[in-house]
Amino acid sequence: MSDATKRTDFILQELMANGRVLAEDLSQRLQVNSSTIRRDLEKLERQNLLRRVHGGAVPLDALSYSTYAEELTFQKNMGKLVDEKNRIAAAALRYIQPGDTLALSPGTTTTHLARYIRRAQIANLTVVTNAVNIAMELAQVPGLTLTLTGGFLLPDFFALVGPMAEQSLSQMFVAKAFIGVTGFSPTYGLTGPNQLEALTHKMTIERAQQTIVLADHTKLGKVALHAIAPISVVHTLITDTEIPTNILQELKETEVKVILAQ
């Protein structure tokens, strides 16, 4: 990996974690001069990966959904376990190939994955989502075909749900579904706090050849109010290295492939 690539990866990681980067701070932390940082930021802006402002840069989405999301559950959760979620998203990206058809469920870890997809610009992707913010993340990616379902908006997680969303999802098939959940239990399966969102998760899983669950260690062993699907539907779980030992042992007795994102 070149020094320039390492710098841009660092800049984008800091941007996702903090919502803003300062050129002077980047110059000091990366030990390069300010003109190098300026060129890095200019290049990333041309790639539609950030927006330059006086003294630094902000995410490209700073004038859209994040402006009214700051007090919502989504934005609070985006700030939790950022390193773990980034590692999980980076590991998930390796499962995406040129020409793939994907479904991305609403959620913070799937949002991180959408940002990785935007940066990677994998050729000829088709993405289906019922998350408004994920659609906005991917709206200007060259060569990517994007389908956003209809439905009733749950603003806390920008999720489109209800009969219209389920009808949209029922008309499509995808190779891989990347699902974020609140609860992941070897005994009780996948669960979530909202009945309508649980139903769209279930439909998404039913229309996918492979189901890949993205869940940090705090979700494992937890059981939320509404059932989504049994553990048997899961092909792969991508989680972090803090997975509880008992959960890992239980999963070894199932057909779920467990990936520990380093």
- The tokens describing 224, both together, are 């939320």
How much is the average pLDDT of 236-249? 96
Does residue 167 contact residue 200 with C-beta atoms inside 8 Å? Answer: no
Global confidence as pTM: 0.76
Res 66: pLDDT: 44
How much is the average pLDDT of 225-252? 96
How much is the average pLDDT of 241-255? 94
The correct answer on CATH 3.40.50.10470 for the domain covering 73-261 is yes
- Across the chain, mean pLDDT equals 89
Short-list 174, 177, 176, 153, CA closest to 164: 153
Within a 10 A sphere around the Cβ of 111, how many other Cβ atoms?
25
Q: Domain segments of the chain: what residues?
A: 3-63, 73-261
3-state helix/strand/coil string of 75-106: HHHHCCCHHHHHHHHHHHHCCCCCCCEEEECC
What is the distance of C-alpha 262 from the center of its chain?
A: 17
Kindly report, residue by residue over 90-117, the tens digit of the pLDDT: 999 999 999 999 999 999 999 999 999 9
Kindly report, residue by residue over 16-71, the tens digit of the pLDDT: 777 789 999 999 999 999 999 999 999 888 887 888 888 899 876 543 444 344 44
Top CATH class of 3-63 equals: mainly alpha
